[in-house]
A and B are shown apart, each in its own frame.
Chain A
Amino acid sequence: ETGVTQTPRHLVMGMTNKKSLKCEQHLGHNAMYWYKQSAKKPLELMFVYNFKEQTENNSVPSRFSPECPNSSHLFLHLHTLQPEDSALYLCASSQGNPGTSGYEQYFGPGTRLTVT
């Protein structure tokens, strides 16, 4: 595998279910991100992890719970979601330091989540 991978690619869940999204990066990066992309809205940053530590929670409801066990893996645990949470969830990774090119982020293909 190369780049950033996400599983599953599609997920349909009921409002009472519990599920998890998985992201893995094969780029040797130290920072990982979760974004939410809804139709007709700008990309919304949800969480940022730097060197496995959460450094940003952008006022995300507690029904979304991130986990970063190491610099290569990022999870998003979902429970009691609402229909308005249906969206494309994108994972990204970057270097943990800006170096000479800023924090250029590389994205996975996303998980299309539908909450019924």
Chain B
Amino acid sequence: AQSVTQPDIHITVSEGASLELRCNYSYGATPYLFWYVQSPGQGLQLLLKYFSGDTLVQGIKGFEAEFKRSQSSFNLRKPSVHWSDAAEYFCAVGALEYGNKLVFGAGTILRVKS
């Protein structure tokens, strides 16, 4: 069955520290992957995506993610976290063989300490 796992429900980091949010998936042979961010009371905003090509992708707000097919992972990173990054982050996976349906992880809530 298709699934997306975000192992960390909550993560707390200090402002200025680096960040890595984990995402593992079990999906089709040709996955495409996304990271979204959601602030309280808001919809989901697309941070970055991987479809093909370079496995290290850059997104908005200084985020990047690396697709590792051998590990079925797509971890999100940021070298220096800002207080405004506090939000909930969702990893999502689709596959061309499954059409336009995405499967979302349960989310990771990021707290930033000043």
Question: Which residues of A are at the interface with B, using a C-beta cutoff of 8 A?
Answer: 4, 6, 31, 41-43, 45, 48, 50, 55-56, 90, 92, 94, 96, 98, 100-110, 112
Contact = CB atoms under 8 A, between A and B. Distances in A.
Interface string B25-48: 000000010101000011111100
A108 B41 contact: no
A94 B45 CA distance: 13
A104 B42 contact: no
Contact of A109 (B43, B102, B106): B43
Contacts of A108: 43
Contacts of B51: 100-102
Contacts of A101: 32, 49, 51
A31 B101 CA distance: 11
Interface of B: 32, 34, 36, 41-46, 49, 51-52, 90, 92, 94, 96, 99-102, 104-107
22 contacts: A6-B43, A42-B106, A42-B107, A90-B43, A96-B100, A98-B96, A100-B51, A100-B52, A101-B49, A102-B49, A103-B94, A103-B102, A104-B34, A104-B46, A104-B49, A105-B102, A107-B43, A107-B45, A108-B43, A109-B41, A110-B41, A110-B43
A45 B43 contact: no
A62 B106 CA distance: 26
Nearest to A108: B43
B32 A102 contact: yes
A62 B102 CA distance: 23
Contacts of A31: 100
B53 to A, nearest CB: 9
A112 B41 contact: yes
A96 B100 CA distance: 8
Nearest to A94: B100
Contact of B42 (A102, A105, A106, A110): A110
B94 A102 contact: yes
A50 B100 contact: yes
Contacts of A42: 104-107
A74 B53 CA distance: 34
Contacts of B96: 98, 102
